Amino acid sequence: MSEAKINPNGPLKGRTAIVTGASRGIGEAVAARLAMEGARVVASARTAEDGESRLPGTLTETVARIKKAGGEARFIKADLAQGSERERLIEETVAAYGPVDILVNNAAITYFIPVEDFPEKRFKLMMEVQVYAPFHLSQLVLPSMRERRQGWIVNISSGAAFHPKQPYGPGRGGTVYGMCKAALERFTTGLASEVYGDNIAVNVVSPGLVATPGVAVHGLINEQTKDRVQPIEYIAEAVYRLASGDPKTMTGRIDHAAPFLKEMNLEPSALV
């Protein structure tokens, strides 16, 4: 891996990036990676300070990590299940840093419950955060992107979007999660086709299995799956490359991080 450092004159110099779900895990890593290339990063999530979540990681820590290395970042606490909070996130970002150039839709809330027992309230919350929030945030940033004829939207998906194949084994209750990610991927390719003429790229990165606090709480890494764990730097690198590529040649992609980096002959950078 290349050296972890902030390059204030990097390819993303002067660009404003929003990363949702950035208090920990993949979102935190992506925020750091974009800042390393000169982006002004707005990190957003529901957890700003210690004690606000049972999981480790806060927006305060994410921003401190970037600033300590010499990058430019701030956080905006927001509950993306609420439309007014999504609108405020964009408004406050524009007021602080200017129009949004890069939107990374990473925030998620996930329950693993069989369909028969899935509560309506939790179903609607998952669809709101994982499907409608990326849709709505994209609507909010697209007018400015169209006007300036540049923009990059990267949605974070999952292998759960793949259709289950026989022989079927015992289910873990991941059907609704898979629905959300499949919808997000179809939204991505559809939007990419709509805004192609406006020089706006819309892509998906599907991380695979990554050792994050959220993965740990769901017990997804075990003896059977531990060999599939992927370094978080792979995901951060793939997102950065798709958030800086040529919108005419790198859009409408559904990419798994490791194969994407291999295809592009890229090595992931260490993170600040």
Residues designated catalytic: 177
Is 14:2 a contact under the CB 8 Å cutoff? no
Q: Say if CB 131 and CB 158 are below 8 A apart.
A: no
- How far apart CA 242 and CA 36 sit, in angstroms, is 15
Q: Determine contact, residues 31/2, Cβ cutoff 8 Å.
A: no
The two three-digit tokens of residue 43, written as one number: 């990190």
Q: Within the chain, what is the greatest distance between any pair of CA atoms?
A: 53
Would you call 43 exposed, middle or buried from its count of C-beta atoms within 10 A (0-12, 13-18, 19+)?
buried
**Is the CB of residue 242 less than 8 Å from the CB of residue 255?**
yes
Do the bridges between strand 200-206 and strand 254-256 make them parallel or antiparallel, or are there none, so unpaired? parallel
Instruction: Give the sign of the dihedral formed by CA 236, CA 269, CA 15, CA 188.
Output: negative
> CA angle, corner 206, sides to 202 and 208, nearest 5?
170
Instruction: Please state, in angstroms and rounded to a whole number, the distance separating the CA atoms of residues 266 and 116.
Output: 44
Is the preceding peptide bond at 167 cis, omega within 30 degrees of 0? yes
Report in angstroms the alpha-carbon separations of 232 from 141, 202, 212.
27, 21, 8
Tally of CB atoms within 10 A around 215 = 18
